[in-house]
Structure 1
């Protein structure tokens, strides 16, 4: 079975259909996976050819999961910072209107 980034992105995006951050999440996941596609294919090939045991394969997947988690947490921090900027701007505008 070949690895399809588009299939993964579609499955993830479907879970966030109602989220206002859907496109941001979708783009981040797609970019991360596009960068890793060669690695995933190499891991699959190594497993199929017996160069990796199932346990080693799982360890590598967990490592990749940790890297993707870090990417998504970075996105979370960036989103929180943007929300804080908007809130600050709103209250600066309110304060200037109330003076």
Structure 2
């Protein structure tokens, strides 16, 4: 997903500007999704404040979801993809 997102014309520049340390960011994202989907509690951050500072608009979330859903359908079995996609849509809605 992040390979696509970083190269995307709509959201790529946002990621390029906002993320300085990709290894750290990807570790945080893995912990976030582990907490969200598997209820591991491994993510202790607050995702809302850093994203709110970026000035994201509806088209940014739409594109993020499009790329996320495409990737989820490619890497997960259908049942797993549905779980991730549903949660991603709820997250995007909470930001808009």
Computing the radius of gyration over CA atoms, which structure comes out larger, 1 or 2? Answer: 1
RCO higher in 1 or 2 (8 Å CA, sep ≥ 6)? 2
| TM-score between the two structures when normalised by the length of structure 2 | 0.30
| TM-score between the two structures when normalised by the length of structure 1 | 0.29
